[in-house]
Every structure is written in structure tokens, then in C-alpha cells.
Amino acid sequence: MRIEHMRSMPTWWNPVWLLKNLSSVLCLGLVWSRGGVDQVYEMMHRLRASVRQVSESTAEVVERWFNSEDAAGVGEENWDVGKVREGVVKGGGGWHGQGWLGKGKWKVGRTEMDEAGVCQSCGEKLVGIDIDPRETENFASSLTKLACQREVKADFVQFQVWHQLSASPKFLRFMEN
């Protein structure tokens, strides 16, 4: 099946359906022909964008994919570094949107971050977590909701009003005069 056909089927892109059936969907990727690896790539990035932690069974399926001959055989050998850089900047970091880059066997492994944010595999420190604008808004809303549930509800709401007013150009001009 082509991805366009799959998109026309409402259940395919339903996030609940996708998450419940992710293992079988990714297993299907293992038997796709070389022409189907772009769909695996797209599904991996949908997973990256929508799920923060995967189940053990899903992790095993992802590992099987990257250890497969199909995964080793796909990839662009001569990519445009400028396009990749531009894609990373436009996408907010991480995902470049240029498809699989490079060919050959993937190095697959698991690791953890310690409390200081240091990767136990490579020793690099996590500097920041890349979240998209929607995630930022959800985070801000969650903080607001949490703060309003606390005892200082009235004070926090007053702070929000003050903060919004103090950021307005009218308020700043008033303060200058």
C-alpha cells in the first residue's frame, strides 16, 4: 500500500489506533520492499513527535528494524549538507526531514541519562530538550493549572495579569513617562 492510500483511511492516522498497533505497524515495515522504507522513516518520526517513552515491545521492534537488512540498505549516500542544516533549523533541532542519510549497518544500543543529564553511552551532557511550540504551550498551560490549584491561586492569577500587562507596549510607555 502506498502512504497516500493509508492517509485516506481515517483509522490509520488516529493516534490512539496508531499507538495501540504500533508494534504490528513497525513489524510490517520489516517486510516492506525498498520502496517502502520512506514510510518506516515517516512512522519513526511520527513516533518521535508524539511519544516520549515507548513500551519495551515497541523498543524491541524499533531495534529489529535498525538491525535489519532493509535498514542497512537504505539511505542517501550523497546528501546536501546545507539542506540538512536548513531542515534542522526549520524543524527546531533534531529532525532534518531529508530521509535516511548514509548506508550501512546501524549501531544499535540502549543507554540512560544520569541525574546530571549525562549520557551513559557517549558521556555527552544533555543541554536542552527540543520541544515544538504546541508542547511549549501545553507545558505552560500545565504549569498555570498546577499553580492555580495551589493555595496561592489568587496571587498567581494576579501575577499573570500583571505579567501580560507589563509586557504590553502601552504599559512600557506609561512606565517611561
Q: Side chain identity at 13, as an amino acid letter?
A: W
| pLDDT at res. 79 | 82
Domains by residue range for the chain, with CATH: 1-130 (1.25.40.10), 133-176 (no CATH)
In terms of Cα–Cα distance, which of 39, 21, 42, 20 is closest to 30?
Answer: 39
| pTM for this predicted structure | 0.52
The CB density around residue 40, as the number of other CB atoms within 10 Å, is 23
| pLDDT at res. 12 | 45
34-39: which pairs have CB atoms within 8 A and are 24 or more residues apart?
A: 34/70, 34/73, 34/74, 37/70, 37/71, 37/74, 37/100, 38/3, 38/99, 39/3, 39/6
Which stretches of the chain score pLDDT less than 70?
Answer: 1-36, 38, 46, 49-53, 91-96, 128-132, 148-157, 162-163, 165-177
**Phi/psi-derived region of residue 104, left when phi > 0, alpha when psi is between -120 and 50, beta in every other case:** left
User: Do residues 71 and 106 lie in contact, with contact meaning Cβ atoms separated by under 8 Å?
Assistant: yes
